[in-house]
């Protein structure tokens, strides 16, 4: 008599990476210290970098705490990321009902840090491991930093498959376009507006060293704009500048001022942020709305971040599926960067895997 073989469920761990944020006023300063201690952010020798991190975190803590107070005292980013993880886990369970799948979250600069999440993943003992940064566009300051921190921390099983970017992935583009059209329609479909794609900025010094972030942001915006049936007037701009260095531009403030000078209102889409946090809830919703009011850019409409939009979560599930179908290593969801960008993930794959 034949004996049936019972297939053991494959254990799959997916790790979502994000920057993190302080949960209360007491954690603002250590969060900032962790941020500015990262050599990917401040590329000076370690002793000087640690000193600068202490100085900057001390000088900026009060202002930053006041901004976080607007959101109830802390950042909503962890709660938002965990909600995305739960939604993704449900979608993956539906796609792969014979596997055991868990989705974890790892933050770069505040809890849960990579070391904490790495211990949880190792205890889960996955057969397969997919690393999925919640940064659609790759940068050495975000994705590379998060994946490098993970590589230093993780000692468990499962050969990692890392998704470096998905800046032109069809569900990502479609989700943005649908959310823009829906929000614009809910605002009354106002005419005489310019669509501003606002992404987090980057110092020109980093961008000039072959970091592909700016190019990928521009490709994302072009793909979304081409998909939209309305709002053909659009511009890419950058926000959140800090420090004395020259940053890539134009700034979002400059783009709002230009729209006002052209007699236009603005519809602002946070194209590089997939979760609501301080850059959207304070910078866009309060600070830049005040700029628009002051310069006469009416109306001012802000598109929500993608969050748990079904199309976006389905796209993330598709990225995980595709990653599981290929050998371990680092790969983009779509085309690779042009050769001019020497700091792209594929050229740094050995250091990130």
- pLDDT tens digit sequence for 199-216: 999 999 999 999 999 999
Q: Which domain holds residue 179?
A: 170-302
Same domain for 18 and 162, yes or no, is yes
Same domain for 284 and 343, yes or no, is no
What's the CATH code of the domain at 56?
Answer: 3.40.50.1400
Same domain for 38 and 57, yes or no, is yes
Same domain for 144 and 229, yes or no, is no
Domain boundary among 262, 283, 302: 302
- The residues pairing with 130 across neighbouring beta strands, listed in sequence order, are 14, 161
How wide is the angle at C-alpha 316 spanned by C-alphas 310 and 321, nearest 5°? 125
Which DSSP symbol is given to 336?
Answer: P
155: tokens are: 């000692």
Same domain for 262 and 236, yes or no, is yes
Same domain for 25 and 131, yes or no, is yes
Report whether 279 contacts 54 (CB < 8 A): no
Instruction: Tell me how far apart the 2 most distant CA atoms of the chain are, in Å.
Output: 84
Residue 137 lies in a domain: yes
Same domain for 222 and 278, yes or no, is yes
CA neighbours closer than 13 Å in the CB half-sphere of residue 153: 20
Residue 2 lies in a domain: no
350 pLDDT higher than 90: no
Q: Which residue has the tokens 């521009």?
A: 218
pLDDT of 4? 47
Q: Which of 77-81, 176-180, 259-263, 347-351 has the lowest mean pLDDT?
A: 347-351
244 pLDDT higher than 60: yes
- pTM, two decimals, is 0.94
Same domain for 253 and 177, yes or no, is yes
Same domain for 22 and 140, yes or no, is yes
Torsion angle of alpha carbons 21, 27, 30, 36, nearest 10°?
Answer: 30
> Cα separation of 266 and 252, whole Å?
11
Residue 316 lies in a domain: yes
- The total number of residues written for the chain in this structure: 353
Kind of pairing between the strands at 193-200 and 300-302: unpaired
- Picking from 40, 69, 66, 42, the residue whose alpha carbon sits closest to that of residue 54 is 42
Residue 236 lies in a domain: yes
Same domain for 181 and 48, yes or no, is no
Q: How far is CA 253 from the centre of its chain?
A: 21
Torsion angle of alpha carbons 33, 64, 216, 222, nearest 10°?
Answer: 180
275 pLDDT higher than 70: yes
Number of domains making up the chain = 2
């Amino acid at each position: 008599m034949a004996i049936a073989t019972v297939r053991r469920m494959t254990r799959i761990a997916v790790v979502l990476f994000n920057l993190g944020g302080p949960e209360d006023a007491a954690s603002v300063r250590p969060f900032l210290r962790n941020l500015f201690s990262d050599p990917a952010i401040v590329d000076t020798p370690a002793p000087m970098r640690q000193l600068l991190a202490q100085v900057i975190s001390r000088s900026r803590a009060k202002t930053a705490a006041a901004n976080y107070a607007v959101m109830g005292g802390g950042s909503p980013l962890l709660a938002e990321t965990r909600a995305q993880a739960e939604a993704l886990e449900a979608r993956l369970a539906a796609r792969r009902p014979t596997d055991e799948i868990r989705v974890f979250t790892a933050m770069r600069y505040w809890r849960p840090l990579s070391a904490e999440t790495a211990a949880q993943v190792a205890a889960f003992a996955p057969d397969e491991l997919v690393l999925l940064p919640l940064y659609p566009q790759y940068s050495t300051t975000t994705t590379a930093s998060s994946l490098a921190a993970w590589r230093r921390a993780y000692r468990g099983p499962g050969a990692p498959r890392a998704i470096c970017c998905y800046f032109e992935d069809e569900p990502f583009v479609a989700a943005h376009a649908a959310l823009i059209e829906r929000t614009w329609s809910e605002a009354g479909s106002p005419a005489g507006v310019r669509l501003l794609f606002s992404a987090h900025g980057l110092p020109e010094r980093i961008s000039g060293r072959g970091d592909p972030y700016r190019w990928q942001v521009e490709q994302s915006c072009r793909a979304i704009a081409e998909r939209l049936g309305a709002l053909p007037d659009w511009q890419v701009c950058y926000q959140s500048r800090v420090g004395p260095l020259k940053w890539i531009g134009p700034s979002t403030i400059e783009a709002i001022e230009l729209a006002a000078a052209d007699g236009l209102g603005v519809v602002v889409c946070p194209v590089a942020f997939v979760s609501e946090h301080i850059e959207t809830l304070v910078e866009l919703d309060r600070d830049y709305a005040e700029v628009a009011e002051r310069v006469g850019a009416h109306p001012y409409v802000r598109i929500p971040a993608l969050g748990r939009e079904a199309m976006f979560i389905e796209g993330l599930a598709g990225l995980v599926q595709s990653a599981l179908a290929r050998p371990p290593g680092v790969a983009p969801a779509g085309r690779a960067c042009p050769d001019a960008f020497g700091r792209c993930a594929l050229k740094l794959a050995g250091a990130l895997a």
